Every structure is written in C-alpha cells, then in structure tokens.
Amino acid sequence: MTIYDFSYTSIEGNPVAMSEYQGKVLLIVNTASKCGFTPHYKGLEDLYRKYKKDGFVVIGFPCNQFGGQEPGSEAEIADFCAVRYGVDFPLSKKVDVRDSSAHPLFKYLTEQKGFVGLGSGLKATVLSAMFKKLYKESYHDCQIKWNFTKFLIDKNGNVVNRYEPTTKLETIAPAIEKLL
C-alpha cells in the first residue's frame, strides 16, 4: 500500500485520487480556521507558491476534532481560507484525523510516521500539558495531537517526515527543496 492508494473529497465535493499527485512532493496538513496555529495558512500558501512550479503541492484537510476549531461548512471554510489567507492550494472537505473515525489517509500517515514531540520552549510545554490532559491514551501514541500537523511526502509517495504544529514552516523549506 502507498499513499497513491487513497483518495479524498475536495472541499468543492469532487473525488480526488491521490494518484493524481504521483511525481510531486506533497505536504499534507490537517487544518482549522479558529486555532492558534491558523496563521500557518499564510506560511503554507507561501511555500506552495514558491515551489508549485517545481512540482510541490500542499493539501489542507480541515478538521473539527480539536476543540471544535473548525465548526464551519465547507463553503465557509473555503471562503475564509481564500479571503483571509489567499489560499490557492487544494483543500478537502472536513475530515477526522484521529481515533477510529480518522480518514483512511490519516490512519496510513500516522502509521508511517508517529508522534515526534513538540520541541522545546514555552509554547511546546503548554501544548504538552494540554495534550496530556485532553487524551487519556498514551501521550506518545502515533495519533495526531492537534491542528496543523504536517506530513512531507516524496515524489514516490513515501512519507518522509512528520512535523508537529509547533514546527516553524521556514524550517521545512530545506527538506522540500531536497526532495524537489
């Protein structure tokens, strides 16, 4: 099984086979419009615009599983992303990304690359305490812990890396460049 065996439904309601992205470098991200990390949309769009011509695609998967931070309809989400952040990269319809209801693509991604920690600093410490309180299962399980977890996929569909929400987007650029 590879990433190309999966599909999703676009935010406009159209089926999309992941095989359409063969030969491209992907950054797959679970997103939310009312999250402290929502400004990541700007950085994601900046990365997409910078490397799009070289075969790079960001795909956003809106998710409402974390604090109800994506409550809107698909139309509201698409409008928010376009108007507020100029998002032009593909978005899916709203999906779950953890637990038994997780979209099959996210089950696969988390099986390939488990939780890698949140880094250091005050924000990471606060988030770590919050995750431990929110989730009864092992804190270090492979499931997605919060909005804006990112998975980097190479041109052959291999999951190369996982970046937690606290990862600064500019630190991902060298890995993207290396894969392109």
Positions annotated as catalytic residues are: 35
Nearest CA to 113 out of 148, 82, 78, 151 is that of: 151
**What CA–CA distance (Å, rounded) separates 64 from 138?**
22
Is residue 125 within a helix (H) or strand (E), and if so which, with residue range? helix 122-134
Residue 117's identity, in one-letter code, is G
Nearest CA to 153 out of 129, 127, 176 is that of: 176
Distances (CA, A) of 115 to 94, 111, 146, 156: 22, 10, 11, 22
3-state SS assignment for residue 61: strand
**What CA–CA distance (Å, rounded) separates 76 from 180?**
33
**What CA–CA distance (Å, rounded) separates 119 from 162?**
13
Nearest CA to 145 out of 35, 43, 2 is that of: 35
